[in-house]
Amino acid sequence: MSNSDLYRRLSDGDPAAQKQLYEQLYVSFRILARHRVADWNDAEEVVQAAMVKVSSKLDQLTEAERFSAWAHAILKHEIVDHYRTAGSRRNREVELEDSSLSHGQDPDDRQLKAKLKECLKKLNAVFGKHARILNLRYQGYSTGEICQRMSLTPNNFYVILSRARSMLKNCLESGEISS
């Protein structure tokens, strides 16, 4: 049965159609994503993100005949977003490597890095979610990606990020983590 037919059945209230529709769509998305995204883990993340968007926006679709085209357009946008964010992460990593090569010999930088590592370890031991958000943000992940990975709302993410930065700053100054 085609995706459009399953969508029509789903719209008519058939609960079994939803499961079958999502299974077919998942298989189709996986095949396409693996052809376009080199890393298999990244391809799986792209598929999962596309499935979440399809599921959350399913009620916005009005024409059943266009379901497959609409769903695959969502997957295409997720793949584009993946490469866009992957490019920005790579650029940030190159900048960090360049700056560490030019400043890595300074003893003050080595002390700061050691202190930063120690503070991140302390933060992780007490507030693991805070440390993870700092690390993901530092690696270049977008707010949306972090929220999706950690099941957070954007507002909650910004609150935790702000607190984590404040705790890290206090630790760098005093050597202790305080809530």
Per-residue confidence (pLDDT) for residue 65, from 0 to 100: 66
Domain ranges of the chain: 3-85, 107-174
Alpha-carbon distances, residue 11 vs 52, 62, 120 (angstroms): 18, 10, 50
pTM for the complete prediction? 0.47
Please classify residue 48 by burial: count the beta carbons closer than 10 Å to its beta carbon, then call 0-12 exposed, 13-18 middle and 19+ buried.
Answer: middle
CATH architecture of 107-174: Orthogonal Bundle (1.10)
Give 3-85's CATH code, choosing from 1.10.3470, 1.10.1740, 2.30.30, 1.20.120. Answer: 1.10.1740
Q: pLDDT confidence of 84, banded at 50, 70, 90?
A: confident
Q: What is the pLDDT of residues 108-164, one digit of tens each?
A: 778 888 888 888 888 888 888 988 888 888 888 888 889 998 999 989 988 998 898
* Shared fold status for 3-85 and 107-174: no
Task: Count Cβ atoms below 10 Å from residue 132 Cβ, excluding itself.
Answer: 17
Share of the chain above pLDDT 90, in %: 5
| Range of lowest pLDDT (29-43, 56-70, 153-167) | 56-70
Query: Rounded to 5, what percent of the chain is helix, strand, coil?
Result: 85, 0, 15
